[in-house]
Amino acid sequence: MTTRSRWFLACLALVVALANAVPSGAEPMRFRVLTEASELVFHATSRLVNADGRFARFTGEAVVDPADLASAHVSVTIDAASLDTGIRRRDDHLRSEDFFHVQRFPTITFESTRVEGSGRRLVVVGRLTLRGITREVAVPLEVDVSGEKLEARGRLEINRGDYGIIYDSALNPIGQRVRIDFTFRAQAVR
């Protein structure tokens, strides 16, 4: 056996030994969204007065392998009646059959089906259910996992008509696109 062949075999043996010595991956961690430390807001346009608001009550959970964020599974449930734009009359109208119809559809849900990308910038693809209508959406976000804390920030735009929200006003026409911005801060649970 030549010196070069011995050197190659020694390197190969070292690579195999190191591969077996490194753990195959961290155990997936379960994170629960801290509602009081998180933010879920929306922005809708209209001719006269835009509607900027937030949802005050929501829950969320993510199961994440910190070594492989693309393997994550995410779920979020929003109490639709918890919307708040700062104008009570408008909030009551948004809760009515014209918009969210919260008596019949009290929650808005998102359940991931896959995660694309790598590193901190990911796209979470999943099913968004609003007013009983489910559509697949892709949510670009930035994720930071540090020890037992997770933070995810992102933005999503939806077409309200896709979810049966077709109300319009001749006096104050409403835009079809609604922007949703969020920052979810979560803590690991055992």
Start-to-end CA distance of the chain, whole Å, equals 55
The answer to whether residue 160 is domain-embedded is: yes
pTM across the whole model? 0.83
CATH number, domain at 71? 2.40.128.110
Nearest to 31 by CA among 80, 73, 79, 91: 73
The answer to whether residue 55 is domain-embedded is: yes
Residue 15 predicted with pLDDT over 60: no
Condensed to tens digits (0 to 9), the pLDDT of residues 54-112 reads 999 999 999 998 888 888 999 999 999 999 999 999 999 999 999 999 999 999 999 99
- What CA–CA distances, in Å, run from 14 to 20, 21, 22, 23, 47? 10, 10, 12, 16, 68
Residue in the block written with tokens 């099913």: 127
The answer to whether residue 71 is domain-embedded is: yes
Residue 130 predicted with pLDDT over 90: yes
CA angle 33, 36, 39 (to 5 degrees): 75
In this prediction, residue 26 carries a pLDDT of 63
The answer to whether residue 16 is domain-embedded is: no
In this prediction, residue 20 carries a pLDDT of 34
Nearest to 124 by CA among 44, 56, 51, 182: 182
In this prediction, residue 133 carries a pLDDT of 98
More confident residue, 142 or 25: 142
In this prediction, residue 27 carries a pLDDT of 83
* Rounded-to-integer distance, Cα 63 and Cα 75, Å: 9
φ, ψ for residue 19, nearest 5 deg: -60, -40
- What CA–CA distances, in Å, run from 33 to 25, 82, 106? 24, 17, 20
pLDDT band at 12 (very low <50, low <70, confident <90, very high): very low
In this prediction, residue 170 carries a pLDDT of 81
In this prediction, residue 14 carries a pLDDT of 31
Rg (CA), the chain: 23
The answer to whether residue 162 is domain-embedded is: yes
The answer to whether residue 12 is domain-embedded is: no
Number of domains composing the chain: 1
Condensed to tens digits (0 to 9), the pLDDT of residues 139-183 reads 999 999 999 999 999 999 999 999 999 998 888 888 999 999 999
Q: Which domain holds residue 162?
A: 26-189
Nearest to 59 by CA among 31, 83, 84: 31
* Rounded-to-integer distance, Cα 55 and Cα 33, Å: 14
The answer to whether residue 1 is domain-embedded is: no
The answer to whether residue 151 is domain-embedded is: yes
* CB neighbourhood size of 17 (10 A): 9
